[in-house]
Structure 1
């Protein structure tokens, strides 16, 4: 699904609503000069692949919004273009293009994208990751490059979400295989990389 957005009061309200429906309710701030944004989603069973191309914005998931929602999702996001600052669990980090970062929508989070940006994300239930609460809190708001274990596995797949539509299906297959125990996460994602790049 693709949702374009144009400038103006109605456009900003629509953009906020589209992002909230995809990632969870947020208080969103955008400058007056915002002109456009595009959000593409690919539902993949329990997982959703999302590509967002937009103008500068700030999204805040307050304690009140987190407490008033049953949203139990984690977002794994690749910054492909622009710059980002992520704040969660007492950490604040600047993110550069090519880095992944993770945030948990069940807790307060602030994401600032100060310039035009392109992100590619996986939105998935926390249980899919199979991480304890303490393990999850250790990786939130911490940029992960391709040299990290998680970054090395997911960065190539997320970077292909635009160029190879099959990458989204490959990610879904990998997650399902890892959940069922048919393959380890590393084996499943390795196979997904091969599938996504086949001609």
Structure 2
């Protein structure tokens, strides 16, 4: 058995690499938008194989983000659960108001039938595994509360699952179709067992994750309020500011940066939306809790690598290309 597809920017002219990458990501992952933080230089490589119904992809690339919008999630015709397991670099998985950071030695899972965003803020080498959702959900496993979670990988069944996913990808070229299908079925079972263990785990860790979920839900409900602050969140949740900060102490984001990033992401979605093209950038920014245009422009450029107007122009041109597909 040989890899089902291999794509590399090595043979692509530097000026064409970014659009080629976006096109590959769109086609390979079934309608997934990507941006490069405004970087002009880029190189990336994809190598994908099938183990029965399971798709395993090795992705190597410069920093980039991928987004599956609610519209694209609704339009998808195949239901997959998706796993990101870094060999190098890190990824932030966001879905259903939750966020999970994952680094080498761990893995996180999310659902392609819902909207999500994956940030890769540095050069990465990831194993990405796609599993048929209905096969993982057998035996009454409730998947929704487990999405955008750091499942594990350091010990126990989640480590066995991670090592099996990695070794299967590496050994697939030497496997028969029958053996590959069996390996895919084993991966599905190990992932299911890992999720069952995560669902049944009662510990201080899951209690802390539940508290973080409450914080994120509150932020999501009040994101448009320019008065949203750590003080107000603490008052609303009846806890101390120190308790809030401690809840986010293991995250790569501080709580203040998390709020800022959620607001920027909301503005990015509306700037990309052709239906919002007649609204001014200032109107969009102020509708999502910003109250200073210069500050918004500065933090937006730091986050995306582009000014808001350049970001909008680029996104709307890409939307026209997407509609033509």
TM range (shorter): 0.7 to 0.9
Question: In the alignment, is residue 43 of structure 1 matched against residue 50 of structure 2?
Answer: yes
TM-score, length basis structure 2: 0.50
Whole-angstrom CA distance in 2 between matches of 1:9 and 1:105: 31
Task: Check 1:178–1:26 CA distance in 2 against 1; reply closer, same or farther (3 A cut).
Answer: closer
CA displacement 1:9-61 (0-9 Å, x = unmatched): 52212211212222221221113244211000112332111110111011110
What is the CA RMSD across the aligned residues, in angstroms?
A: 2.8
Whole-angstrom CA distance in 2 between matches of 1:165 and 1:174: 9
Range that drifts further, 41-50 or 143-152: 143-152
2:182 to 152, 168, 173: 173
Whole-angstrom CA distance in 2 between matches of 1:125 and 1:66: 15
- SS at the partner of 1:60? strand
Whole-angstrom CA distance in 1 between matches of 2:187 and 2:109: 19
1:14 aligned residue:
20
2:6 aligned residue:
2
Give unpaired runs (5+ residues) of structure 1.
180-184, 190-199
Per the TM alignment, residue 3 of structure 1 is displaced from its structure 2 partner at its CA by: 0.3
Going by fraction, where is strand more abundant, 1 or 2?
A: 1
Aligned pairs for 1:1-199 (under 5 A) are 1-5=5-9, 6=12, 8-30=14-36, 31-131=38-138, 135-147=142-154, 151-160=158-167, 163-165=170-172, 172-176=181-185, 185=189
Going by fraction, where is helix more abundant, 1 or 2?
A: 2
Whole-angstrom CA distance in 1 between matches of 2:157 and 2:137: 13
Whole-angstrom CA distance in 1 between matches of 2:168 and 2:23: 23
Bigger Cα Rg: 2
Structure possessing the higher relative contact order (Cα contacts under 8 Å, 6 or more residues apart): 1
| Runs of 4+ with deviation above 6 angstroms | none
Whole-angstrom CA distance in 1 between matches of 2:25 and 2:31: 8
2:204 aligned residue:
none
TM-score, length basis structure 1: 0.78
